[in-house]
Protein backbone atom coordinates (compact mmCIF):
# COMPACT_ATOMS: atom_id res chain seq x y z
CA UNK A 1 0.00 0.00 0.00
CA UNK A 2 1.47 3.34 -1.04
CA UNK A 3 1.11 6.26 1.32
CA UNK A 4 0.76 9.70 -0.17
CA UNK A 5 3.38 12.15 1.08
CA UNK A 6 2.59 15.83 1.42
CA UNK A 7 5.84 17.11 -0.06
CA UNK A 8 4.94 20.73 0.69
CA UNK A 9 4.76 19.95 4.42
CA UNK A 10 8.17 18.23 4.47
CA UNK A 11 9.77 20.72 2.06
CA UNK A 12 11.98 22.47 4.68
CA UNK A 13 13.46 19.15 5.84
CA UNK A 14 13.89 17.84 2.29
CA UNK A 15 15.65 20.99 1.10
CA UNK A 16 18.14 20.93 3.96
CA UNK A 17 18.78 17.18 3.74
CA UNK A 18 19.35 17.22 -0.03
CA UNK A 19 21.61 20.25 0.34
CA UNK A 20 23.66 18.33 2.93
CA UNK A 21 24.39 15.51 0.45
CA UNK A 22 24.97 18.05 -2.32
CA UNK A 23 27.58 19.92 -0.26
CA UNK A 24 29.41 16.68 0.54
CA UNK A 25 29.52 15.72 -3.13
CA UNK A 26 30.56 19.20 -4.25
CA UNK A 27 33.43 19.14 -1.78
CA UNK A 28 34.57 15.68 -2.85
CA UNK A 29 34.71 16.87 -6.44
CA UNK A 30 36.82 19.88 -5.59
CA UNK A 31 34.50 22.88 -5.25
CA UNK A 32 36.16 25.82 -3.49
CA UNK A 33 35.34 26.54 0.14
CA UNK A 34 33.61 29.86 -0.42
CA UNK A 35 31.08 28.24 -2.76
CA UNK A 36 30.28 25.59 -0.14
CA UNK A 37 29.50 28.32 2.40
CA UNK A 38 27.16 29.96 -0.09
CA UNK A 39 25.42 26.68 -0.98
CA UNK A 40 25.01 25.85 2.70
CA UNK A 41 23.58 29.21 3.75
CA UNK A 42 21.53 29.40 0.54
CA UNK A 43 19.88 26.05 1.28
CA UNK A 44 19.07 27.14 4.82
CA UNK A 45 17.62 30.42 3.53
CA UNK A 46 15.55 28.48 0.99
CA UNK A 47 14.28 26.26 3.81
CA UNK A 48 13.40 29.38 5.79
CA UNK A 49 11.50 30.75 2.79
CA UNK A 50 9.51 27.51 2.51
CA UNK A 51 8.68 27.72 6.24
CA UNK A 52 7.43 31.27 5.76
CA UNK A 53 5.35 30.16 2.78
CA UNK A 54 3.87 27.30 4.82
CA UNK A 55 3.08 29.62 7.72
CA UNK A 56 0.51 31.49 5.67
CA UNK A 57 -1.38 28.25 4.96
CA UNK A 58 -3.30 25.82 7.10
CA UNK A 59 -2.01 23.07 9.36
CA UNK A 60 -0.60 20.23 7.28
CA UNK A 61 -0.07 16.65 8.41
CA UNK A 62 1.52 13.75 6.62
CA UNK A 63 2.70 10.16 7.25
CA UNK A 64 -0.66 9.48 8.89
CA UNK A 65 -2.02 6.04 9.73
CA UNK A 66 -3.98 4.77 6.70
CA UNK A 67 -7.71 4.74 7.34
CA UNK A 68 -7.79 0.92 7.15
CA UNK A 69 -5.45 0.57 10.13
CA UNK A 70 -6.73 3.51 12.11
CA UNK A 71 -9.83 1.86 13.60
CA UNK A 72 -11.89 4.34 15.56
CA UNK A 73 -8.82 6.14 16.90
CA UNK A 74 -7.37 9.56 16.06
CA UNK A 75 -5.61 10.23 12.70
CA UNK A 76 -2.13 9.69 14.26
CA UNK A 77 0.13 11.58 11.90
CA UNK A 78 3.89 11.28 12.38
CA UNK A 79 4.77 14.62 10.83
CA UNK A 80 2.70 17.73 11.51
CA UNK A 81 3.45 21.23 10.23
CA UNK A 82 1.34 23.44 12.49
CA UNK A 83 2.21 26.90 13.79
CA UNK A 84 4.21 25.43 16.69
CA UNK A 85 6.33 23.41 14.26
CA UNK A 86 6.77 26.27 11.82
CA UNK A 87 7.79 28.73 14.54
CA UNK A 88 10.53 26.35 15.70
CA UNK A 89 11.58 25.43 12.16
CA UNK A 90 11.88 29.12 11.30
CA UNK A 91 13.85 29.77 14.48
CA UNK A 92 16.22 26.84 13.90
CA UNK A 93 16.82 27.69 10.24
CA UNK A 94 17.45 31.38 10.94
CA UNK A 95 19.85 30.46 13.74
CA UNK A 96 21.57 27.95 11.44
CA UNK A 97 22.16 30.69 8.85
CA UNK A 98 23.87 32.78 11.54
CA UNK A 99 25.94 29.75 12.62
CA UNK A 100 27.07 29.23 9.01
CA UNK A 101 28.07 32.89 8.81
CA UNK A 102 30.12 32.47 12.00
CA UNK A 103 31.67 29.27 10.65
CA UNK A 104 33.16 30.74 7.48
CA UNK A 105 36.14 32.29 9.27
CA UNK A 106 36.39 29.45 11.78
CA UNK A 107 36.84 26.85 9.04
CA UNK A 108 39.87 28.70 7.65
CA UNK A 109 41.32 29.57 11.03
CA UNK A 110 41.04 26.14 12.61
CA UNK A 111 41.84 24.27 9.37
CA UNK A 112 38.57 22.34 9.46
CA UNK A 113 37.53 20.22 6.46
CA UNK A 114 34.97 22.54 4.83
CA UNK A 115 32.77 20.05 2.99
CA UNK A 116 32.42 17.74 5.97
CA UNK A 117 31.76 20.68 8.29
CA UNK A 118 28.88 22.02 6.20
CA UNK A 119 27.54 18.51 5.58
CA UNK A 120 27.44 17.74 9.30
CA UNK A 121 25.94 21.13 10.15
CA UNK A 122 23.17 20.72 7.58
CA UNK A 123 22.48 17.12 8.68
CA UNK A 124 22.12 18.19 12.30
CA UNK A 125 19.86 21.05 11.25
CA UNK A 126 17.71 18.63 9.24
CA UNK A 127 17.41 16.51 12.40
CA UNK A 128 16.39 19.55 14.44
CA UNK A 129 13.64 20.63 12.07
CA UNK A 130 12.34 17.06 11.86
CA UNK A 131 12.31 16.80 15.64
CA UNK A 132 10.01 19.80 16.08
CA UNK A 133 7.54 18.32 13.56
CA UNK A 134 7.58 14.76 14.94
CA UNK A 135 4.40 13.52 16.59
CA UNK A 136 5.28 9.92 17.41
CA UNK A 137 7.95 8.52 19.67
CA UNK A 138 9.94 6.70 16.98
CA UNK A 139 10.17 9.75 14.74
CA UNK A 140 11.14 11.80 17.80
CA UNK A 141 14.01 9.46 18.71
CA UNK A 142 15.27 9.12 15.14
CA UNK A 143 15.16 12.91 14.66
CA UNK A 144 16.91 13.45 17.99
CA UNK A 145 19.69 11.07 16.89
CA UNK A 146 19.94 12.77 13.50
CA UNK A 147 20.45 15.97 15.43
CA UNK A 148 23.00 14.49 17.87
CA UNK A 149 25.22 12.21 15.76
CA UNK A 150 26.65 14.88 13.42
CA UNK A 151 27.36 17.13 16.39
CA UNK A 152 29.82 14.61 17.92
CA UNK A 153 31.85 14.81 14.73
CA UNK A 154 31.49 18.60 14.50
CA UNK A 155 32.89 18.99 18.01
CA UNK A 156 35.85 16.73 17.17
CA UNK A 157 36.69 18.25 13.78
CA UNK A 158 39.75 20.01 15.24
CA UNK A 159 41.54 16.69 15.17
CA UNK A 160 44.89 18.07 16.33
CA UNK A 161 43.33 19.43 19.55
CA UNK A 162 43.14 17.10 22.55
CA UNK A 163 40.56 19.27 24.27
CA UNK A 164 38.24 18.94 21.29
CA UNK A 165 38.58 15.15 21.27
CA UNK A 166 37.85 15.01 24.99
CA UNK A 167 34.79 17.22 24.54
CA UNK A 168 33.55 15.05 21.70
CA UNK A 169 34.01 11.83 23.62
CA UNK A 170 32.22 13.31 26.63
CA UNK A 171 29.31 14.47 24.50
CA UNK A 172 29.18 11.10 22.76
CA UNK A 173 29.06 9.09 25.99
CA UNK A 174 26.47 11.35 27.62
CA UNK A 175 24.34 11.32 24.52
CA UNK A 176 24.48 7.56 24.09
CA UNK A 177 23.52 7.01 27.72
CA UNK A 178 20.65 9.46 27.46
CA UNK A 179 19.39 7.77 24.31
CA UNK A 180 19.54 4.39 26.03
CA UNK A 181 17.62 5.75 29.04
CA UNK A 182 15.06 7.35 26.79
CA UNK A 183 14.59 4.22 24.67
CA UNK A 184 14.04 2.18 27.81
CA UNK A 185 11.42 4.72 28.92
CA UNK A 186 9.74 4.56 25.53
CA UNK A 187 9.66 0.77 25.65
CA UNK A 188 7.92 0.93 29.05
CA UNK A 189 5.42 3.50 27.77
CA UNK A 190 4.77 1.37 24.71
CA UNK A 191 4.39 -1.72 26.85
CA UNK A 192 1.83 -0.01 29.08
CA UNK A 193 -0.16 1.88 26.45
CA UNK A 194 0.40 -0.19 23.30
CA UNK A 195 0.86 2.98 21.24
CA UNK A 196 3.71 4.92 19.68
CA UNK A 197 1.76 7.88 18.31
CA UNK A 198 1.46 10.62 20.90
CA UNK A 199 -2.24 11.18 20.28
CA UNK A 200 -2.88 7.47 20.89
CA UNK A 201 -0.72 7.37 24.02
CA UNK A 202 -2.77 10.25 25.45
CA UNK A 203 -6.04 8.37 24.83
CA UNK A 204 -4.80 4.90 25.81
CA UNK A 205 -6.53 3.20 28.69
CA UNK A 206 -3.84 1.88 31.02
CA UNK A 207 -4.94 -0.77 33.54
CA UNK A 208 -4.32 0.14 37.18
CA UNK A 209 -1.61 -2.52 37.56
CA UNK A 210 0.43 -0.98 34.74
CA UNK A 211 0.11 2.64 35.90
CA UNK A 212 3.46 2.57 37.80
CA UNK A 213 5.19 1.10 34.74
CA UNK A 214 3.87 3.87 32.52
CA UNK A 215 4.90 6.49 35.10
CA UNK A 216 8.46 5.14 35.24
CA UNK A 217 8.50 5.22 31.44
CA UNK A 218 7.42 8.87 31.42
CA UNK A 219 10.11 9.79 33.96
CA UNK A 220 12.81 8.01 31.94
CA UNK A 221 11.75 9.77 28.73
CA UNK A 222 12.02 13.12 30.56
CA UNK A 223 15.46 12.11 31.86
CA UNK A 224 16.55 11.40 28.28
CA UNK A 225 15.51 14.86 27.15
CA UNK A 226 17.05 16.40 30.28
CA UNK A 227 20.47 15.10 29.19
CA UNK A 228 20.09 16.67 25.77
CA UNK A 229 19.11 20.12 27.01
CA UNK A 230 21.65 20.09 29.88
CA UNK A 231 19.32 20.13 32.86
CA UNK A 232 20.83 19.51 36.32
CA UNK A 233 21.75 16.76 37.32
CA UNK A 234 22.52 15.87 33.68
CA UNK A 235 24.34 19.10 32.84
CA UNK A 236 27.99 18.32 33.58
CA UNK A 237 28.97 17.81 29.94
CA UNK A 238 27.93 21.30 28.82
CA UNK A 239 30.83 23.52 29.97
CA UNK A 240 33.60 21.19 28.79
CA UNK A 241 31.93 20.53 25.46
CA UNK A 242 31.22 24.22 24.78
CA UNK A 243 34.81 25.06 25.60
CA UNK A 244 36.34 22.26 23.55
CA UNK A 245 34.32 22.72 20.37
CA UNK A 246 34.77 25.38 17.69
CA UNK A 247 32.75 28.41 18.83
CA UNK A 248 30.10 28.26 16.08
CA UNK A 249 29.47 24.64 17.07
CA UNK A 250 29.09 25.70 20.71
CA UNK A 251 26.58 28.30 19.53
CA UNK A 252 24.78 25.56 17.60
CA UNK A 253 24.65 23.37 20.71
CA UNK A 254 23.42 26.09 23.01
CA UNK A 255 20.81 27.52 20.64
CA UNK A 256 19.65 25.04 17.99
CA UNK A 257 20.17 21.80 19.87
CA UNK A 258 18.60 23.26 22.97
CA UNK A 259 15.62 24.78 21.17
CA UNK A 260 14.91 21.51 19.37
CA UNK A 261 15.32 19.52 22.59
CA UNK A 262 12.84 21.74 24.43
CA UNK A 263 10.41 21.54 21.51
CA UNK A 264 10.64 17.74 21.67
CA UNK A 265 10.09 17.78 25.43
CA UNK A 266 7.09 20.10 25.11
CA UNK A 267 5.58 17.97 22.31
CA UNK A 268 6.01 14.77 24.30
CA UNK A 269 4.63 16.14 27.56
CA UNK A 270 1.76 18.17 26.10
CA UNK A 271 0.54 15.70 23.48
CA UNK A 272 1.57 12.32 24.83
CA UNK A 273 1.63 12.44 28.61
CA UNK A 274 -0.95 14.99 29.82
CA UNK A 275 -2.58 12.21 31.86
CA UNK A 276 0.63 11.83 33.89
CA UNK A 277 0.87 15.51 34.79
CA UNK A 278 0.80 14.63 38.48
CA UNK A 279 3.96 12.54 37.95
CA UNK A 280 6.09 14.79 35.76
CA UNK A 281 4.81 18.18 36.97
CA UNK A 282 6.53 18.14 40.40
CA UNK A 283 9.59 16.38 38.93
CA UNK A 284 10.04 19.06 36.28
CA UNK A 285 9.55 21.73 38.96
CA UNK A 286 12.35 20.34 41.12
CA UNK A 287 14.65 19.91 38.10
CA UNK A 288 13.96 23.48 37.00
CA UNK A 289 14.71 24.90 40.46
CA UNK A 290 17.94 22.88 40.76
CA UNK A 291 19.03 23.77 37.24
CA UNK A 292 18.62 27.51 37.52
CA UNK A 293 20.14 27.69 41.00
CA UNK A 294 23.20 25.56 40.29
CA UNK A 295 23.74 27.10 36.87
CA UNK A 296 23.65 30.64 38.22
CA UNK A 297 25.78 29.91 41.29
CA UNK A 298 28.54 28.23 39.29
CA UNK A 299 28.38 30.90 36.58
CA UNK A 300 29.29 33.46 39.26
CA UNK A 301 32.76 31.95 39.53
CA UNK A 302 33.63 31.56 35.83
CA UNK A 303 36.56 33.44 34.33
CA UNK A 304 36.29 32.32 30.71
CA UNK A 305 33.54 33.78 28.53
CA UNK A 306 32.64 30.46 26.89
CA UNK A 307 32.35 28.64 30.21
CA UNK A 308 30.31 31.52 31.57
CA UNK A 309 27.96 31.29 28.61
CA UNK A 310 27.78 27.51 29.12
CA UNK A 311 26.75 27.81 32.76
CA UNK A 312 24.41 30.66 31.97
CA UNK A 313 22.82 28.50 29.30
CA UNK A 314 22.36 25.76 31.92
CA UNK A 315 20.67 28.33 34.17
CA UNK A 316 18.48 29.51 31.30
CA UNK A 317 17.39 25.89 30.74
CA UNK A 318 15.92 26.08 34.22
CA UNK A 319 13.80 29.09 33.28
CA UNK A 320 12.63 27.35 30.12
CA UNK A 321 11.68 24.26 32.09
CA UNK A 322 9.87 26.18 34.83
CA UNK A 323 6.47 26.70 33.13
CA UNK A 324 6.16 22.96 32.45
CA UNK A 325 6.16 22.35 36.21
CA UNK A 326 2.43 23.11 36.22
CA UNK A 327 1.69 19.54 35.10
CA UNK A 328 -1.62 19.08 33.32
CA UNK A 329 -3.06 22.21 34.94
CA UNK A 330 -3.12 25.12 32.41
CA UNK A 331 -0.74 23.09 30.22
CA UNK A 332 -1.32 24.96 26.90
CA UNK A 333 -0.37 28.28 28.49
CA UNK A 334 2.70 26.67 30.05
CA UNK A 335 3.86 25.25 26.72
CA UNK A 336 3.31 28.66 25.08
CA UNK A 337 5.45 30.29 27.80
CA UNK A 338 8.26 27.77 27.31
CA UNK A 339 8.16 28.26 23.55
CA UNK A 340 8.24 32.05 23.89
CA UNK A 341 11.19 31.87 26.26
CA UNK A 342 13.14 29.48 24.03
CA UNK A 343 12.53 31.68 20.97
CA UNK A 344 13.64 34.88 22.68
CA UNK A 345 16.60 33.19 24.40
CA UNK A 346 17.79 31.85 21.04
CA UNK A 347 18.15 35.35 19.60
CA UNK A 348 20.04 36.86 22.52
CA UNK A 349 22.29 33.89 23.20
CA UNK A 350 23.20 33.53 19.54
CA UNK A 351 24.14 37.21 19.54
CA UNK A 352 26.37 36.78 22.58
CA UNK A 353 28.11 33.81 20.96
CA UNK A 354 28.58 35.79 17.74
CA UNK A 355 30.40 38.59 19.55
CA UNK A 356 32.53 36.12 21.55
CA UNK A 357 33.46 34.40 18.27
CA UNK A 358 34.41 37.71 16.67
CA UNK A 359 36.43 38.78 19.70
CA UNK A 360 38.35 35.49 19.69
CA UNK A 361 39.60 36.33 16.18
CA UNK A 362 41.41 39.54 17.10
CA UNK A 363 45.07 39.77 16.11
CA UNK A 364 47.89 41.04 18.28
CA UNK A 365 48.99 44.41 16.93
CA UNK A 366 51.68 43.95 14.31
CA UNK A 367 51.64 40.15 14.38
CA UNK A 368 49.55 37.46 12.77
CA UNK A 369 49.08 35.45 15.96
CA UNK A 370 45.81 34.85 17.70
CA UNK A 371 45.63 35.16 21.48
CA UNK A 372 45.29 32.02 23.56
CA UNK A 373 42.13 31.21 25.47
CA UNK A 374 40.18 34.38 26.25
CA UNK A 375 39.40 35.45 29.77
CA UNK A 376 36.68 37.81 30.83
CA UNK A 377 39.38 40.29 31.86
CA UNK A 378 40.46 40.57 28.20
CA UNK A 379 37.14 42.23 27.44
CA UNK A 380 38.15 45.33 29.40
CA UNK A 381 38.04 48.36 27.17
CA UNK A 382 36.34 46.73 24.22
CA UNK A 383 34.09 49.79 24.03
CA UNK A 384 37.10 51.96 23.14
CA UNK A 385 38.42 49.59 20.48
CA UNK A 386 35.14 48.63 18.85
CA UNK A 387 32.16 50.60 20.15
CA UNK A 388 29.64 48.79 17.95
CA UNK A 389 30.69 45.32 19.04
CA UNK A 390 30.79 46.32 22.69
CA UNK A 391 27.35 47.90 22.43
CA UNK A 392 25.97 44.73 20.81
CA UNK A 393 27.48 42.45 23.45
CA UNK A 394 26.31 44.70 26.27
CA UNK A 395 22.80 44.68 24.84
CA UNK A 396 22.73 40.86 24.53
CA UNK A 397 23.97 40.48 28.10
CA UNK A 398 21.37 42.90 29.42
CA UNK A 399 18.70 40.99 27.50
CA UNK A 400 19.94 37.71 29.02
CA UNK A 401 19.84 39.31 32.46
CA UNK A 402 16.30 40.54 31.76
CA UNK A 403 16.74 44.23 32.48
CA UNK A 404 15.44 47.20 30.51
CA UNK A 405 16.38 48.27 27.85
CA UNK A 406 16.64 44.57 27.00
CA UNK A 407 12.86 44.36 26.95
CA UNK A 408 12.80 40.98 25.20
CA UNK A 409 14.59 39.29 28.08
CA UNK A 410 12.32 41.03 30.56
CA UNK A 411 9.18 39.94 28.70
CA UNK A 412 10.46 36.38 28.40
CA UNK A 413 10.88 36.22 32.18
CA UNK A 414 7.46 37.81 32.80
CA UNK A 415 5.78 35.24 30.54
CA UNK A 416 7.43 32.41 32.45
CA UNK A 417 6.51 33.93 35.82
CA UNK A 418 2.89 34.35 34.74
CA UNK A 419 2.69 30.74 33.55
CA UNK A 420 4.22 29.39 36.77
CA UNK A 421 1.95 31.46 39.04
CA UNK A 422 -1.11 30.80 36.87
CA UNK A 423 -0.44 27.06 37.13
CA UNK A 424 -0.15 27.25 40.92
CA UNK A 425 3.57 26.61 41.38
CA UNK A 426 4.27 29.82 43.27
CA UNK A 427 7.31 28.36 45.08
CA UNK A 428 9.06 27.92 41.76
CA UNK A 429 8.29 31.53 40.81
CA UNK A 430 9.97 32.63 44.06
CA UNK A 431 13.06 30.50 43.34
CA UNK A 432 13.14 31.99 39.86
CA UNK A 433 12.95 35.55 41.15
CA UNK A 434 15.93 34.91 43.46
CA UNK A 435 17.85 33.39 40.57
CA UNK A 436 17.17 36.31 38.30
CA UNK A 437 18.87 38.51 40.88
CA UNK A 438 21.92 36.19 41.02
CA UNK A 439 22.04 36.21 37.22
CA UNK A 440 22.08 40.01 37.14
CA UNK A 441 25.46 40.02 38.84
CA UNK A 442 27.51 38.04 36.36
CA UNK A 443 25.86 39.38 33.24
CA UNK A 444 26.27 42.96 34.41
CA UNK A 445 29.82 42.40 35.70
CA UNK A 446 30.78 41.29 32.19
CA UNK A 447 28.92 44.20 30.57
CA UNK A 448 30.64 46.70 32.87
CA UNK A 449 34.09 45.31 31.94
CA UNK A 450 33.44 46.31 28.34
CA UNK A 451 33.40 49.95 29.32
CA UNK A 452 36.37 49.89 31.74
CA UNK A 453 39.77 51.34 30.86
CA UNK A 454 41.77 48.97 28.59
CA UNK A 455 44.88 47.44 30.10
CA UNK A 456 45.84 44.61 27.75
CA UNK A 457 48.22 45.03 24.82
CA UNK A 458 46.63 46.60 21.74
CA UNK A 459 45.07 44.37 19.12
CA UNK A 460 43.37 44.60 15.75
CA UNK A 461 39.75 43.58 15.49
CA UNK A 462 39.22 42.54 11.91
CA UNK A 463 36.26 40.25 12.02
CA UNK A 464 35.44 39.98 8.33
CA UNK A 465 32.07 40.66 6.72
CA UNK A 466 30.45 37.30 7.55
CA UNK A 467 30.85 37.57 11.33
CA UNK A 468 29.91 41.24 11.19
CA UNK A 469 26.75 40.31 9.33
CA UNK A 470 26.00 37.59 11.90
CA UNK A 471 26.34 40.06 14.79
CA UNK A 472 24.26 42.58 12.85
CA UNK A 473 21.46 40.07 12.20
CA UNK A 474 21.34 38.98 15.84
CA UNK A 475 21.47 42.56 17.10
CA UNK A 476 18.73 43.63 14.70
CA UNK A 477 16.61 40.71 15.87
CA UNK A 478 17.20 41.60 19.51
CA UNK A 479 16.35 45.27 18.97
CA UNK A 480 13.22 44.51 16.95
CA UNK A 481 12.01 42.01 19.54
CA UNK A 482 12.75 44.44 22.35
CA UNK A 483 10.68 47.13 20.67
CA UNK A 484 7.91 44.75 19.73
CA UNK A 485 8.09 41.52 21.80
CA UNK A 486 4.49 40.78 20.80
CA UNK A 487 5.85 39.47 17.47
CA UNK A 488 6.92 36.30 19.26
CA UNK A 489 4.40 36.35 22.10
CA UNK A 490 1.42 36.44 19.71
CA UNK A 491 2.66 33.88 17.21
CA UNK A 492 3.34 31.34 19.92
CA UNK A 493 0.53 28.88 19.65
CA UNK A 494 -0.59 25.56 20.97
CA UNK A 495 1.07 22.40 19.76
CA UNK A 496 -1.33 20.10 17.90
Q: Is the peptide bond before 144 cis (omega within 30 degrees of 0)?
A: no
Among the candidate windows 24-32, 136-144, 457-465, 484-492, which touches another protein by CB under 8 A?
Answer: 24-32
Quote the least distance from Cβ 21 to another protein, whole Å: 5
d(CA 252, CA 31): 25
**Residue 208 binding another protein, by CB under 8 A:** no
Among the candidate windows 20-28, 159-167, 381-389, 409-417, which touches another protein by CB under 8 A?
Answer: 20-28
**Residue 207 binding another protein, by CB under 8 A:** no
CA-wise closest residue to 253 among 177, 185, 349: 349
**Residue 24 binding another protein, by CB under 8 A:** yes
**Residue 21 binding another protein, by CB under 8 A:** yes
C-alpha distances (whole Å) from 484 to each of 163, 319, 405, 411, 433 are: 42, 22, 12, 10, 24
**Residue 53 binding another protein, by CB under 8 A:** no
Q: Which is nearer to another protein, 5 or 388 (CB)?
A: 5
Burial 332-354 (b: 16+ CB within 10 A, else e): ebbbbbbbbbbbbbbbbbbbbbb
# binding residues, another protein (CB under 8 A): 8
Q: Are strands 363-364 and 459-460 parallel, antiparallel or unpaired?
A: antiparallel
* Three-class SS state of 134: strand
| Number of neighbouring beta carbons within 10 Å of residue 413 | 21
Quote the least distance from Cβ 65 to another protein, whole Å: 17
**Residue 209 binding another protein, by CB under 8 A:** yes
**Residue 1 binding another protein, by CB under 8 A:** yes
Q: Which is nearer to another protein, 1 or 453 (CB)?
A: 1
Among the candidate windows 17-25, 126-134, 382-390, 412-420, which touches another protein by CB under 8 A?
Answer: 17-25
Which residues, including other chains, have CB under 8 Å from residue 259's CB and lie 6 or more apart? Answer: 88, 91, 92, 95, 128, 342, 343, 346
Among the candidate windows 22-30, 319-327, 349-357, 421-429, which touches another protein by CB under 8 A?
Answer: 22-30
**Residue 28 binding another protein, by CB under 8 A:** yes
Among the candidate windows 21-29, 280-288, 408-416, 469-477, which touches another protein by CB under 8 A?
Answer: 21-29
CA-wise closest residue to 143 among 165, 118, 125: 125
Helix, strand counts (H, E) of the chain: 21, 4
Q: Under the rule (CB under 8 A), what is the footprint of another protein?
A: 1-2, 21, 24-25, 28-29, 209
Amino acid sequence: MIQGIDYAAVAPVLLVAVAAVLVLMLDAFGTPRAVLGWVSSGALALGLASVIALASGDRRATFCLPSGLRGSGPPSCSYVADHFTLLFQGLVLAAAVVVVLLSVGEITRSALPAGEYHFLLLSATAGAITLVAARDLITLVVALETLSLPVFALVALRRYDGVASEASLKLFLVSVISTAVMLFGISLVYGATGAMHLDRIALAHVPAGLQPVASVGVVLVIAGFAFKVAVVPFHFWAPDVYQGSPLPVAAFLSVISKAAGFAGLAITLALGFPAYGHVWGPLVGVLAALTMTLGNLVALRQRHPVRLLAWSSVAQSGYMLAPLAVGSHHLPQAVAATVAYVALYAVMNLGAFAVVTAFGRRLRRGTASYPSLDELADYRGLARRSPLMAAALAFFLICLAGLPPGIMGLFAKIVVFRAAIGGGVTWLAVVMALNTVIGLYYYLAWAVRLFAAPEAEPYDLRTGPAVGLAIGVAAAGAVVLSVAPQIVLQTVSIVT
